[in-house]
Amino acid sequence: MIQLETMRVLYRYNDWANDQLLLAAGQVGDGRLDQPFDLGLGSLRATLMHIIIAEDTFLKRSQGQVEAPWGDEGERAIVTQMNERLDDTRRRRDAFFAALKDSELPSKRVYRDSFGSLFATTLGDLIVQVCTHSMHHRAQVVNMLRRVGANAPELDYIYWMRRPEAKD
């Protein structure tokens, strides 16, 4: 099973990659965020909102909280509001991680998905799901950014690891 320290590294990468997407999305103008696409959730805004909602939802599932209904991906949040929501989720996640121990990762979590289906998985697998889930949608956002003529960020994990500032 993956260890907490590895998960922390993956979450730092995850945070950086999401920040890069929001930075690029902030440069395309609010109107372009709703341009229709035949991929992702149909627009840049909706796909970004899906990533943000998923981060919060998977945190709640990891914490064993009673799950609220899946958020509204059609919400017309502007990029600064998206950043604020991600920052809030990160603060709560970091506090949760600070108290977490490797020995807790095999513990079971039971939750209902957005369709009401019941699932059971380990806490460790649920935590990893955030990064793997977002990876797919980030690729969709990069594709959409390119289609609207934005400078799409390079989000490759090895690229992130090789950055000079990654030595922290």
**What CATH number has the domain bearing residue 93?**
1.20.120.450
Please give the Cα distance from 27 to 48 (Å, whole number): 14
Number of separate domains in the chain = 1
Two tokens, residue 20: 């890069």
Residue-level pLDDT, tens digit, the chain, 168 residues: 789 999 999 999 999 999 999 999 999 988 899 999 999 999 999 999 999 999 999 999 998 876 666 777 777 899 999 999 999 999 999 999 999 999 999 999 988 877 778 889 999 999 998 888 899 999 999 999 999 999 999 999 998 989 887 655
Q: What is the 3-state secondary structure (H, E, C) of 51-73?
A: HHHHHHHHHHHHCCCCCCCCCCC
User: What is the predicted pLDDT for the residue at 48?
Assistant: 96
| Boundaries of domain holding 115 | 4-167
**Widest distance between CA atoms in the chain:** 47
